[in-house]
Amino acid sequence: MRALLAGVACLALSGAALADSPSFSVTVGGTSDYVFRGVTQTFEDPAAQGSIDFAYGLFYAGAWASNVDFNDAPSATAEVDLYAGIKPTIGPGPLWGPVTFDFGVIYYAYPGADDGANFISGGKQLDYVELKAGYSMVSPWIKGLTSGTTLYWSPDYSLETGDVFTVESAASYALPQVGAFSPSITGAYGTVYGDVTEGFSVGGDNEDEYSYWNVGLAVAIEKFTLDFRYWDSDIDVVTNGGSVCVDQGLCDERFVFSAKVTLP
């Protein structure tokens, strides 16, 4: 076992050595509807989004921002996410392709939010922290396929609704390149678990877990990426509002178009 762990450590460190030059990138884009885990965050309106990212060896950090609109339930106009973590890589091995792990922390902030502006929030904070641990693996059997699963945990979710776990699996399949276009089919399926006794309510009733999914076509054109995506969730009934979805129309099926450019 010690020999195996030592081998894994050496592989991870060798991966870090190959990427020991610091790198920065800036991404700017927009979307027809900012959807997070199956629920619109902009009341079905468009959003402008951007991020700044830094990477050095295994370490990464960055900030991401978007406008939001919860229709004053509670009142907020912007979301700023700060994140950091490490991404060690092992492999490929005899029966698996390269596996990249991701261990990180995300702080979701809503600067300027009036947490007490609506009865739904009840003066509780929108800001919250999540820890995450996941992996993605390049398939050794199907060329162009990458898949993985990530676990997210918040000790006190948004609106102070206690422990919330999210498990999300995602996959991407690269299609043959056509000229300057590099298309891929991507999708994800996730489930969010909360506790109704701590205030986590999917649709205002006693449901304290739900699932969401998306599938779409992403097309990369040099530094630009266009994304056409279908979103849906299994939230079927919304009564008296909830901490996750306050209206049925905000968490049902929808098509979303996004575009972004990453520099340099």
Percentage of the chain with pLDDT > 70?
Answer: 88
Burial of 194 (0-12, 13-18, 19+ CB in 10 A): buried
Mean per-residue pLDDT over the chain, rounded: 89
Question: In whole angstroms, what is the distance from residue 207 CA to residue 214 CA?
Answer: 21
Question: In whole angstroms, what is the distance from residue 95 CA to residue 141 CA?
Answer: 9
Q: Which pLDDT tens digit goes with each residue over 177-212?
A: 999 999 999 999 999 999 999 989 898 777 899 999
State the pLDDT at residue 115: 62
Q: Which pLDDT tens digit goes with each residue over 229-246?
A: 999 999 987 877 678 888
Question: In whole angstroms, what is the distance from residue 185 CA to residue 176 CA?
Answer: 11
Residue 5's pLDDT band (cuts 50, 70, 90): very low
Q: Where are the domains of the chain?
A: 2-263
Q: According to the 3-state scheme, what is the secondary structure of 41-108?
A: CCCCCCEEEEEEEEEECCEEEEEEEEECCCCCCCECCEEEEEEEEECCEECCCCCCCCEEEEEEEEEE
The more confidently predicted of residues 157 and 18 is: 157
Return the residue matching tokens 């995506």. 229
Give pTM, 2 decimals: 0.89
pLDDT at position 1 over 80: no
The more confidently predicted of residues 10 and 64 is: 64
CATH of 2-263 given 2.40.10.10, 3.30.70.100, 2.40.160.40, 3.90.120.10: 2.40.160.40
The more confidently predicted of residues 17 and 196 is: 196
